Amino acid sequence: MTMPHFDVVVIGAGPAGLAAARAAALSGARIALVDDNPRAGGQVWRQGPERDAAKPLHDALKELDTQADLTFFFSTRVIAAAPAKTLLLESSDHGGVYLSYGRLILCTGARERLLPCRGWTLPGVTGAGGLQALIKGGVPVSGQRIVIAGSGPLLIAALATARDAGARVLAVVEQAPRSAVARFGVSLAATPSKLWQAARLTRGFFGVPYWTDSVVREVSGNGRVEAVTIARGTREMTLACDRVALGYGLVPNLTLAQALGCAVGEGGIVVDDLQRTSVGDVLAAGECTGIGGAELATSEGAIAGYVASEESVPAPLVQERARWRRFAARVERGFALGEAARAWPAPDTLLCRCEDVPFGEVAAHDSWRDAKLHTRCGMGACQGRICGTAAQTLLGWDMATPRPPLAPTRIETLLAAGAHAQHLDCPL
Amino acid sequence: MRHERGLDRNGRVSVSVTIDGKTLYLPAYATVAAALAVANGVLGTRTSVSGERRTALCGMGVCQECRVSIDGRMHVLACQTICRDGMTIETDTERAR
């Protein structure tokens, strides 16, 4: 197994990672940019068939194209962190590779918080961002009746994508109280570009009900989604539909950071003003340091890129980051999860979808570790990324530090890595 | 209507894949998840450990519900794989579990 060395390795090719790569490239650094998707853009700038790249993505890729020393590793996941600033990666097409870094920038982004309710495992139930991602990848939804539910501005973005693709969105179901959402709406005046974005996203809003103080109680159907039951305050109503897009906000992707030993806090990886983590030569930027949107991710990524390549950080970037951090705080306040969203599902509702473990069985234990050992929840393919997040929200449990392999890995990768690791003297 | 190989009805580049033996045409850069939805509609593409039908949930490579076999390799995530011309996709529930 070869081991190329890079001055700067960036994990994640979304807004933060691309900004970091652009900034670091200015100094002539040798850069690697790693992403588990087949193309750059992350979630918000996800590319797909018959769709032009979003302008910021197009500009970023065009600029990076002119950089001589940038290597993309697409469809590639980090499997393990090894001593002496080395990572084991696995590429879908090319198998395992080690690489070493001078500086590492984590831009691992966020995933959705998916909470269980009766029927949530039926085909046709997706995340809200999940539906958006699937549509962008070419999943047809034209003429389909869709209910979008959960929490956050992401529901509106999903609404826009679904409507543009010809879906009939029946309602948007937001758990936050009307007053909180209204206050957030008013506060958009502080970020005119976001206000403009909201206006663009909601111009098709007219006619689609937006219900606050409302949650999905149950999804029903025979082998697929056929109806959804919604609790609006004290009332309940059932709508026939084809899809339910259900997501309760975003949570940072911390697996690699934790495996490296980086300190993490409530909101994400802990970083200082220079985007440095608690581990030497490891920086982090974007949603993984705290949910805040693409603009914040871009400014944080750029700062990390300058710092990693030992260039000074332009002052306007620091101001921009501060501004978008204030916006992020307003989003968090506006859409904090209330009691109805945190209500426990019926005990026979599955919590762990990989091992089919009911919520009641998991909740009978005192900690994630005990629940895992006794029920196998979190031991399946997703390794707790879906069910563990739900357990954190519903049961208040802390998650354990992840251990390698950090993603499902082919045995041939581990065997080759093992042989190589003997030379590195590293325990894998 | 048969599509001219390589071009869709709008004259744009397309790719042909097979899903469980059935041939489909997708626009270039469509994901395998898209191909599965075109083939199956809103129906399951794999079977869970207790026998439930499942399909893509998170759309971004986290939940692992969209696993299928591609060109003989098992446990490939459909939502993070772009269709390639001639790709063979199998949702055989025993093998794609």
Which CB contacts under 8 angstroms, 24+ apart, belong to A256-260? A256/A11, A256/A78, A256/A81, A256/A106, A256/A108, A256/A406, A257/A106, A257/A108, A257/A282, A257/A284, A257/A288, A258/A401, A258/A402, A259/A80, A259/A81, A259/A401, A259/A402, A259/A403, A259/A404, A259/A406, A260/A81, A260/A104, A260/A106
Whether pTM > 0.90 for this model: the answer is yes
- Average pLDDT, integer, range A230-238: 94
CB distance B58–A130 less than 8 Å?
A: yes
CB distance B76–A112 less than 8 Å?
A: no
Give the model confidence (pLDDT) of A179-223 as tens digits: 999 888 888 888 888 877 877 776 656 579 999 999 999 999 999
Alpha carbon of B61: minimum distance to chain A alpha carbons (Å):
8
From B78, B58, B42, select the one nearest A145 (Cα to Cα): B42
Query: Sign (positive/negative) of CA torsion A91, A92, A93, A95?
Result: positive
Q: Judge whether residue A229 has pLDDT over 80.
A: yes
Name the B residues in 58-87 with CB < 8 Å from any A CB.
Answer: 58-65, 67, 75-76, 79-82
Give the model confidence (pLDDT) of A147-166 as tens digits: 999 999 999 999 999 999 99
How far apart CA B1 and CA B9 sit, in angstroms, is 9
High-pLDDT (> 90) share of chain A, %: 86
Are A67 and A59 contacting, i.e. CB atoms less than 8 angstroms apart? no
Q: Judge whether residue A420 has pLDDT over 90.
A: no
CB distance B61–A225 less than 8 Å?
A: no
Instruction: For chain A, give the mean pLDDT.
Output: 94
Give the model confidence (pLDDT) of A293-329 as tens digits: 999 999 999 999 999 999 999 999 999 999 999 999 9
How far apart CA A422 and CA A257 sit, in angstroms, is 24
Alpha carbon of B65: minimum distance to chain A alpha carbons (Å):
8
Decide if B50 touches A, using CB distance below 8 A.
Answer: yes
Stronger pLDDT, A261 or A83, i.e. the higher one: A261
Alpha carbon of A196: minimum distance to chain B alpha carbons (Å):
27
How far apart CA A5 and CA A390 sit, in angstroms, is 38
| CA geometry: angle A3, A4, A8, nearest 5 deg | 130
Name the A residues in 393-422 with CB < 8 Å from any B CB.
Answer: 408
Can you give the pLDDT at residue A189? 81
- Give the chain A residue whose CA is nearest to the CA of B44: A123
Alpha carbon of A387: minimum distance to chain B alpha carbons (Å):
9
> Tokens representing A105?
């920038």
Judged by DSSP in three states, A147 sits in strand
High-pLDDT (> 70) share of chain A, %: 96
Are A298 and A45 contacting, i.e. CB atoms less than 8 angstroms apart? no
Can you give the pLDDT at residue B95? 45
- Give the chain A residue whose CA is nearest to the CA of B43: A123
